[in-house]
Chains A and B, each alone.
Chain A
Amino acid sequence: MRVVLAEDLALLRDGLIRLLQAHGMQVVEAVDNGPALLRALTTHRPDVAVVDVRLPPTFTDEGLRAALAAREQIPGLPILVLSQYVEQLYARELLSQGSGGIGYLLKDRVSDVAQFIEAIRRVATGGTAMDPEVISQLLVRHRDSSPVTSLTPRESEVLGYMAEGLSNAAIAAAMFVTEKAVGKHIGSIFGKLNLHPQDDTNRRVLAVLAFLDAGPHRP
């Protein structure tokens, strides 16, 4: 798997390169600023890009902007954005192109190596990897007067994992239940939220995220 990496802090950049290489990924280019990232993404067209939000020269959301610009040119280019903090606003912008292959994780998650690598692979295959913190922020808006309140605790848990982008198998593993049980929960959730059932995992994730993002008072 060919990866483009964008991280301006040398310490973290070297660590990430080592981590990715140890898991059989090939880092075709590691850059440390926004303009270089955009150029690397469009020339290499990697299988996936791992991008830090804050990059030189502006030290603001340069990485995010470069990623969005690259996806304008190459629709569906898989990008995993890492950040010291997560903002719903940025999650929404990343998801707005609606084609999947998007990840948005706190940098902390790198320390859980197995899950981090799994998230990269998921994004590379067109899936979604949303940080649990994004999901919990989204769920705040469904505290009251939303169909989400009618879910059982178990179903809420499944909804959270589903919104993060996990597959049925991964949800089953995380909750120590069978895939069949997960399937049943998902069917019930879609019924209660009045969403169309989707066979395709990626489309299902995006539908759930769009539902949560819209808030409880949808027109």
Chain B
Amino acid sequence: MTVPIDAAAAVGPPTAATAPPMVSSPPAPTPGLPTQFLWCWVLVLLIAPTALAVALLLAGAGSAIVWIGLPLWLIAVGYLRLLTRAYRSVAGRILGERFTADYLPMPSGNLFVRLRTAMVDPARWRDVAYAFFAVTLGASLSISALATFIIFPIGYWLSPLLLRLWAAATRAIIGPTGEAALHRRIGTLEEARTETLDHSAAELRRIERDLHDGAQAHLVALGMNLGMAEELMPRDPQAARALIADARESSRAALAELRSLVRGIHPPVLADRGLAGAVQALALAQPHPVEVDVQLPDRPPAPLESAMYFAIAEALTNSAKHACARGGWVWVRHEQATLTAMVGDDGVGGAQMVPGGGLAGVQRRMAAFDGTVTVSSPAGGPTIVTIGAPCASGGAGR
């Protein structure tokens, strides 16, 4: 078979998939002029409701001395939240992004508790600031944009420009903040950490059980057989001989158990030869011929190297077991601070990531490295599993 590297190159490195999930949103196409015209109208129509919000705020501030101001404020911030959501939505469409707001959750307490929460929420304060922007500069921008639309031909370029300017200002005031992105990042990391800890705890339990039921049991049997043989030796050398043969068999079985256990923890060939050699060895062990193309300038950090090895092993096992593949290939590169592996086969396709399945397990383990796993497997094949993880440099001092 031919070396299917072209297929790998055609797919290209999975850049979008490997980016850490910060402010993730698929970029939308730039809207057409009629749509922009429509939005100008929407923005202009929103001016009056926004002015009402500003009036509420000012009225609340004016009457804060008397108690009536406080509920007024609370109504104003709730109303503002609805308004800014509309503004965010329009600005997001113009810029081709999707903004999410990060308000503090509003507690279900009395008036003061709710008001205090609103007072300490930076997102609410930015809403207030935006209301003042929207009735002054924002309003002039949107009115100008609507007005210039009718002046042919300047409207063709000036009006969209003004709209973008407005959208950029909106993003600056009520768009996603770095802090919010960090919060989301922390959430992702916490989730990944929990899964990693769960996974390693489960692995340790499995190893303990395997040792207990496997090698330890065989060694106990071995000791028993030798003890009995020792006893029988003077009286019945023939029987002692048989027991010693049994003991030897037990030692062989114990070694075999330990060997398979060690392979599951850290394959010796990976320690010896790194990812390139270990993938080569994996390919040799497959029932179908597998082309290997691994080019790494240096060895990745040991934990990532090991995770990547097991991910590739799982993908290859899937090819052999489920895809009825007649041929396959593995392609590994470390470029642009990303370690990428692609595993493909010419099998029946239709591979899916099912919860609790092997590939889902791979994805869970790669998540600990901010890694991603994507499966492209149309019915009828071919199947390509792409595993990527950020990897700044090689592992030093091993």
Q: Once bound together, how far apart are the Cα atoms of A137 and B285, in whole Å?
A: 6
Main secondary structure, interface of B, reads: helix
CB distance from A22 to the nearest CB of B (A): 17
Closest to A112 in B: B248
B248 A61 Cβ-Cβ under 8 A: no
Q: Is B42 interfacial (CB 8 A cutoff)?
A: no
Tally of contacts, chain A with chain B, CB under 8 A: 55
Count of chain A residues near B, Cβ 8 A: 23
Which A-B residue pairs are the 8 nearest by beta carbons?
Answer: A60-B272, A61-B272, A89-B281, A88-B284, A108-B255, A111-B248, A108-B252, A87-B269
Q: Is A121 interfacial (CB 8 A cutoff)?
A: no
Q: Is B256 interfacial (CB 8 A cutoff)?
A: yes
A140 B287 Cβ-Cβ under 8 A: yes
Q: Is B196 interfacial (CB 8 A cutoff)?
A: no
Q: Is B183 interfacial (CB 8 A cutoff)?
A: no
B281 A87 Cβ-Cβ under 8 A: yes
Closest to B258 in A: A84
> What are 14 A-B contacts with C-beta separation under 8 Å?
A54-B268, A59-B271, A60-B271, A60-B272, A85-B262, A88-B284, A89-B269, A89-B273, A108-B252, A108-B255, A111-B248, A137-B285, A140-B287, A215-B289
Contact with B along A200-219 (1 / 0, CB 8 A): 00000000000000010100
A140 B289 Cβ-Cβ under 8 A: no
Closest to A113 in B: B248
Q: Mark out the residues of chain B between 242 and 294 whose CB falls within 8 Å of any chain A CB in the assembled complex.
A: 248, 251-252, 255-256, 259, 262-263, 268-269, 271-273, 277, 280-281, 284-289
A88 B252 Cβ-Cβ under 8 A: no
Q: Once bound together, how far apart are the Cα atoms of A59 and B271, in whole Å?
A: 9
Q: Is B1 interfacial (CB 8 A cutoff)?
A: yes
CB distance from A110 to the nearest CB of B (A): 10
A111 B262 Cβ-Cβ under 8 A: no
Residues of B within 8 A of A141 (CB): 286-289
Q: Once bound together, how far apart are the Cα atoms of A56 and B24, in whole Å?
A: 49
CB distance from B31 to the nearest CB of A (A): 54
Residues of A within 8 A of B1 (CB): 217
Which residues of B are interface residues toward A (Cβ below 8 A)? 1, 248, 251-252, 255-256, 259, 262-263, 268-269, 271-273, 277, 280-281, 284-289, 326-327
Closest to B254 in A: A108
Given contacts A61-B273, A84-B262, A84-B268, 16 further A-B contacts (CB under 8 A): A60-B271, A84-B259, A87-B269, A87-B281, A88-B284, A89-B280, A89-B284, A106-B255, A107-B255, A108-B251, A108-B252, A111-B251, A137-B285, A141-B286, A141-B289, A217-B289
Q: Is A143 interfacial (CB 8 A cutoff)?
A: yes
Residues of A within 8 A of B248 (CB): 111-112
Closest to A216 in B: B289
Q: Once bound together, how far apart are the Cα atoms of A146 and B284, in whole Å?
A: 16
Residues of B within 8 A of A144 (CB): 287
A85 B281 Cβ-Cβ under 8 A: no
Closest to B271 in A: A60
Closest to B280 in A: A89
B285 A88 Cβ-Cβ under 8 A: yes
Residues of A within 8 A of B255 (CB): 84, 106-108
Q: Mark out the residues of chain A between 122 and 148 whose CB falls within 8 Å of any chain B CB in the assembled complex.
A: 137, 140-141, 143-144
A85 B259 Cβ-Cβ under 8 A: yes
Closest to A61 in B: B272
Which residues of A are interface residues toward B (Cβ below 8 A)? 54, 59-61, 84-85, 87-90, 92, 106-108, 111-112, 137, 140-141, 143-144, 215, 217
Residues of A within 8 A of B262 (CB): 84-85
Closest to A219 in B: B1
Residues of A within 8 A of B259 (CB): 84-85
Closest to A217 in B: B289
Residues of B within 8 A of A61 (CB): 272-273
Closest to B281 in A: A89
Max chain B Cβ within 10 angstroms of own Cβ: one of A85, A88, A106, A144? A85
Residues of A within 8 A of B251 (CB): 108, 111
A140 B268 Cβ-Cβ under 8 A: no
Closest to A141 in B: B287
CB distance from B41 to the nearest CB of A (A): 67
Closest to A143 in B: B287
A85 B268 Cβ-Cβ under 8 A: yes
CB distance from A70 to the nearest CB of B (A): 18
CB distance from B146 to the nearest CB of A (A): 69
Max chain A Cβ within 10 angstroms of own Cβ: one of B1, B259, B262, B271? B259
Q: Once bound together, how far apart are the Cα atoms of A141 and B251, in whole Å?
A: 29
Closest to A214 in B: B289
Q: Once bound together, how far apart are the Cα atoms of A84 and B273, in whole Å?
A: 16
Residues of B within 8 A of A143 (CB): 287
B268 A92 Cβ-Cβ under 8 A: no
A140 B252 Cβ-Cβ under 8 A: no
Q: Once bound together, how far apart are the Cα atoms of A26 and B222, in whole Å?
A: 31
Closest to B283 in A: A89
CB distance from A16 to the nearest CB of B (A): 16
